[in-house]
Chains A and B, each alone.
Chain A
Amino acid sequence: KDLADALEEGGCDLETVRNIIQGRRLPADLRAKVWKIALNVVGKGDSLTSWDGSLDLPEQSIIHKDCQELIDQLWVPEEEKSVLILDIESVITFYCKSRNIKYSSCLGWIHLLRPLVHLHLPRSDLYNCFYAIMNKFIPRDCFMKGRPFHLFRLLLQYHEPELCSFLDTKKMTPDSYALNWLGSLFSYYCSAEVTQAIWDGYLQQADPFFIYFLMLIILVNAKDVILAQESDKEEMIKFLETSPANLDLEDIEDLFSLAQYYCSKTPASFRKDNHSLFGSSLLGLKDDETDLSQALCLAVSVSEILQANQQQGEGVRFFVVDCRPAEQYNAGHLSTAFHLDSDLMLQNPSEFAQSVKSLLEAQKQSIESGSIAGGEHLCFMGSGREEEDMYMNMVLAHFLQKNKEYVSIAKGGFMALQQHLADINVEGPENGYGHWIASTSGSRNSINSVDGDSPNGSGDAKGVKSLVNKMTVALKTKSVNVKEKVISFIENTSTPVDR
Chain B
Amino acid sequence: MQKHNQKEHLYKLLVIGDLGVGKTSIIKRYVHQNFSPHYRATIGVDFALKVLNWDAETVVRLQLWDIAGQERFGNMTRVYYREAMGAFIVFDVTRPATFEAVTKWKEDLDSKLVLPNGKPVPAVLLANKCDQGIDVLMNNGIKMDQFCKENGFVGWFETSAKENININEASRCLVKHIIASESDPVQSIEPDIIKPHLNSSKIVSCSSCFKS
Contacts and interface: CB of A to CB of B under 8 A. Distances in A.
Interface in A118-158: 134, 140-143, 145-146
B63 A294 contact: no
A349 B76 contact: no
Contacts, number: 74
A480 interface: no
A169 interface: yes
A232 interface: no
A134 B212 CA distance: 11
A165 interface: yes
B188 interface: no
Interface string B116-155: 0000000000000000000000000000000000000000
B212 A99 contact: yes
Interface in A272-293: 280, 282, 284-285, 288, 291, 293
A346 B63 contact: yes
Main secondary structure of the interface of A (DSSP, over half): helix
Interface string A156-172: 00000000011011010
B211 A394 contact: no
B47 A345 contact: yes
A390 B80 contact: yes
Interface string B72-110: 111110011010000000000000000000000000000
B40 interface: yes
A117 B80 CA distance: 55
Contact of A142 (B43, B45, B46, B210): B210
B131 to A, nearest CB: 21
Given A169-B39, A346-B63, A280 B212 contact: yes
A100 B49 CA distance: 58
B19 interface: yes
Contacts of A393: 44-45, 76
B41 A168 contact: yes
A294 B205 CA distance: 14
Contacts of A166: 40
A169 B72 CA distance: 12
A401 interface: yes
A130 to B, nearest CB: 14
B79 A390 contact: yes
B49 A168 contact: no
Contact of B74 (A140, A294, A346): A294
B208 interface: yes
Contacts of B205: 141, 145-146
Contacts of B211: 99, 134, 140-141, 280
A150 B210 CA distance: 17
B164 interface: no
A9 interface: no
B207 interface: yes
B80 A169 contact: no
A450 B75 CA distance: 39
B44 A400 contact: yes
B49 A296 contact: no
Contacts of B80: 390
B41 A294 contact: no
A146 B101 CA distance: 25
Interface string B192-212: 000000000000010110111
A294 B72 contact: yes
Given A294-B75, A296-B73, A140 B207 contact: yes
A397 B45 contact: yes
B20 to A, nearest CB: 8
Contacts of B49: 349
A169 B79 contact: no
A386 B79 contact: yes
Given A285-B208, A346-B63, A165 B41 contact: yes
A387 interface: yes
B46 A401 contact: yes
Interface in A370-405: 386-387, 390, 393-394, 396-398, 400-401
A461 interface: no
A165 B210 CA distance: 30
Contacts of A134: 211
Contacts of A396: 44
Nearest to A153: B72
Contacts of B41: 165, 168-169
* Most chain A beta-carbon contacts within 10 A, residue among B43, B49, B76, B79: B43
B42 interface: yes
B58 interface: no
A101 B43 CA distance: 38
Contact of A291 (B63, B70, B75, B208): B75
B44 A296 contact: yes
Contacts of B79: 386-387, 390
Given A171-B19, A291-B75, A394 B45 contact: yes
Interface in A258-283: 280, 282
Interface string A72-102: 0000000000000000000000000001110
Interface of B: 19, 39-47, 49, 63, 70, 72-76, 79-80, 82, 205, 207-208, 210-212
Lowest 3 A-B CB distances belong to which pairs?
A: A397-B44, A169-B41, A140-B211
17 contacts: A134-B211, A141-B205, A142-B210, A145-B205, A146-B205, A165-B41, A168-B41, A168-B70, A169-B39, A171-B19, A296-B43, A346-B47, A386-B79, A390-B80, A393-B44, A393-B45, A397-B46
Interface of A: 99-101, 134, 140-143, 145-146, 165-166, 168-169, 171, 280, 282, 284-285, 288, 291, 293-294, 296, 345-346, 349, 386-387, 390, 393-394, 396-398, 400-401
Given A291-B75, A398-B46, 8 more contacts: A99-B212, A100-B212, A165-B40, A168-B70, A280-B212, A293-B72, A394-B47, A397-B46
